[in-house]
């Protein structure tokens, strides 16, 4: 499996971020996992010139306080950083309402949707889809 430069986990549930980080490290997918509790925190990290965060892959929850996943996508995909690096954006959710499904399907910047939690098998399938 190809090793990625960096993975960004965006979820307001700290235990979910931690669990996903453990799974990612167990399969040695990357040495660098960055976590944010909401879209604003992620955007701050990604657009701060003092950071050198350039994720290949972003796992994104939709329903978060402060800034939800859809607003994050709207703002981040307009940045120079996104346009130059074009990381894969994978939405993670435990459940979706019909309106969210429609928004995901109609958004060209979202590369994939997966149900939470991440598993080694889901990550392996994702890697096969994008990096093989």
- The CA distances from residue 16 to 1, 8, 51, 76, 108, in Å, are 23, 13, 24, 22, 26
Per-residue pLDDT tens over the stretch 9-63 = 999 999 999 999 999 999 999 999 999 999 999 999 998 888 878 999 999 999 9
- For residue 132, pLDDT over 80 is answered with no
- For residue 112, pLDDT over 90 is answered with yes
Per-residue pLDDT tens over the stretch 69-93 = 999 999 999 998 899 999 999 999 8
CATH of 7-131, one of 3.40.190.80, 3.30.420.10, 3.40.50.2300, 3.30.9.10: 3.40.50.2300
Quote the pLDDT of residue 100. 80
Find the largest Cα–Cα distance for the chain: 39
- For residue 95, pLDDT over 80 is answered with no
pTM: 0.94
């Amino acid at each position: 499996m190809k090793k990625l430069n960096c993975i960004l986990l965006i979820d307001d549930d700290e235990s979910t971020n931690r669990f996903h980080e453990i799974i990612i490290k167990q399969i040695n997918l990357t040495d660098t996992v960055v976590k944010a509790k909401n879209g604003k925190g992620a955007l701050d990290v990604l657009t701060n010139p003092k950071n050198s965060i350039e994720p290949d892959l972003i796992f994104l929850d939709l329903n978060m306080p402060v800034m939800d996943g859809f607003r994050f996508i709207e703002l981040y995909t307009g940045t120079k950083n996104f346009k130059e690096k074009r990381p894969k954006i994978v939405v993670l959710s435990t459940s979706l309402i019909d309106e969210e499904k429609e928004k995901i399907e109609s958004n060209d910047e979202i590369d994939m949707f997966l149900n939470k939690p991440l598993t080694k098998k889901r990550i392996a399938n994702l890697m096969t889809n994008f990096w093989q």
